[in-house]
Amino acid sequence: MRLALGISYNGQAYQGWQSQLSGLTVQDKLEKALGQFAVQRISTVCAGRTDAGVHGLMQVVHFDTEIERDEFSWIRGTNRFLPHDIAVQWARPVPDAFHCRASALSRRYAYVVLESPVRPSIDSGRTGWVYRPLDEAAMREAAAILMGEHDFTSFRASACQALSPVKTMKRIDISRRGAYWRFDFEANAFLHHMIRNIMGCLLQIGQGMQPPGWMAQVLAARDRDAAAPTFSPDGLYFLGPVYAPEWGLPDRTAAYDGLP
């Protein structure tokens, strides 16, 4: 039987998603908990790897198992062995043809940024921070340049393992609530550090350090050195993949309601 799980986590305490020898990753904690519940080793595949410090509102994983339990048992049983900052939100049996990464039509991220002369405290690690005022119109103009299919090499980390730098940006929404800005991104796929590097550029433009048209120059350069420094992972949330309705999987979790 193939099972899909929706996972939420606070990434502050972890060295990213992907398993490492240290054992201090979200995948390591999840697979350990699944193994304790199922009393057998379980290996998972995820929809999208996240960096150290990045949070997940609906990471999706799948795995194959001969263990038969109802959906609620997989949720409650696994959560019993997980640390307090990681939780299984839902479980669904899926056909063998389903693959959490290959079946995804797109992936979604959100960046939350505090605009304030004073750094974050209570929400430290859960929001990015700028102390200069941001120009929404300038950032929107720059974001529009990135829409559609492009070679995003200028926003790609040197360690990126993607086979191609060409991706399709489907949506960039910018909104504000009080002192908090929210940037929503949706693309067919993302390169390593792609969003963090785009954010670095958007925030330079928003603070008046570069004109909106500079984004086109960075994109055309196809050179990482042309872009702004990589922005902090603080405030970056993986909202999860988007699947075709026929798979019958949730498209959000309760954690969405707590995000500014």
Q: Do 51 and 141 fall into the same domain?
A: no
Q: Do 22 and 131 fall into the same domain?
A: no
Pairing of the two strands 86-94 and 2-9: antiparallel
CB 100 within 8 A of CB 60: yes
Q: Do 77 and 116 fall into the same domain?
A: no
24-60: pLDDT as tens digits: 999 999 999 999 999 999 999 999 999 999 999 999 9
Q: Do 45 and 161 fall into the same domain?
A: no
Q: Which domain holds residue 189?
A: 106-237
Residue 223 is a catalytic residue: no
pTM recorded for the entire structure: 0.95
Q: Do 114 and 46 fall into the same domain?
A: no
Q: Do 134 and 188 fall into the same domain?
A: yes
Q: Do 77 and 118 fall into the same domain?
A: no
SS3 85: coil
The CATH number that applies at residue 53 is 3.30.70.580
194-206: pLDDT as tens digits: 999 999 999 999 9
Query: In the predicted model, is pLDDT for residue 161 greater than 90?
Result: no
Query: In the predicted model, is pLDDT for residue 90 greater than 90?
Result: yes
* CA distances, 189 to each of 45, 106, 247 (Å): 16, 6, 19
Q: Indicate which residue of 28, 51, 64, 135 is catalytic.
A: 51
Ordered DSSP codes for 218-245: HHHHT-GGGSPPPPPSTTEEEEEEE--G
SS3 183: strand
- Cα 56 to Cα 148: distance, rounded to the nearest angstrom: 25
Across the chain, what does the average pLDDT equal?
Answer: 96
Task: Tell me the HSE value of 83 on the side-chain side, using a 13 A CA sphere.
Answer: 16
Q: Do 36 and 94 fall into the same domain?
A: yes
Q: Do 180 and 218 fall into the same domain?
A: yes
Q: How many residues are present in the chain?
A: 260
Considering its fold, how many domains does the chain have in total? 2
Q: Do 81 and 133 fall into the same domain?
A: no
Residue 243 belongs to a domain? no
Phi, psi of 4 (to 5 degrees): -110, 140
Mark 47-84 as b/e (b = at least 16 C-beta within 10 Å).
bbbbbebbbbbbbbbbbeeeeebeeeebbebbeeebee
Residue 149 belongs to a domain? yes
Q: Do 233 and 110 fall into the same domain?
A: yes
